[in-house]
Amino acid sequence: MAATHMQRLAMHARLVEIMGQEDAEALMEHLPPVAWEQMATKDDLKASELRILAELTKTNAALVETNAALVETNAALAETKVSFKEALLDTNADVVELRGEVQLGFARLERRLAWYLVAVAALLVGFGLAVWIPLVGALSDAASAGRALPAPAQPAAVSEVSELSELSQPAPG
């Protein structure tokens, strides 16, 4: 059983009466401030040290595992970064190639359209000349002969349709 503070003071006073002040204080300093069963021994300290070292070893092992996982994750991220860079380079190359193909296609279309415009212009000029030259010739002939222009001739298909419509009408009666 541990001594209370009052009991320690009473013991100190009695020791001072018996031994004197100096010897009583020296003896009291050698008494533990708590009960003997609460005092830690060297074996208790060694057991605590072993428990702490075991916990530190477990913690260190967990940190090593975590570090290894982080190294693996970092390596995977580096591979992913390289893959993304390669994919980006491939995509950029594809875009450049596609841009070139589109520009070439547009250039071909422009060239083809230019030829079509030239062909249409040539047809229009040819058609205009085909109509204009006989018309000018007829006008100059009429002007030099002093006579009126002849009535334009009806195409064969129009005259045939006129004949058919006259035949299909009933005879007056």
65 or 126, which is more confident? 65
Query: At residue 140, does pLDDT exceed 90?
Result: no
pTM of the model: 0.40
pLDDT at 2: 59
For residues 15 and 28, the answer to whether their CB atoms sit within 8 Å is: yes
pLDDT at 145: 78
pLDDT at 151: 58
Query: At residue 45, does pLDDT exceed 80?
Result: yes
Sign of CA dihedral 102, 107, 110, 116: negative
Rounded Cα gap, residues 161 and 157, in angstroms: 6
For residues 14 and 30, the answer to whether their CB atoms sit within 8 Å is: no
Rounded Cα gap, residues 85 and 126, in angstroms: 60
What's the mean pLDDT in 114-121?
93
For the chain, the structural domain boundaries read: 8-35+48-144
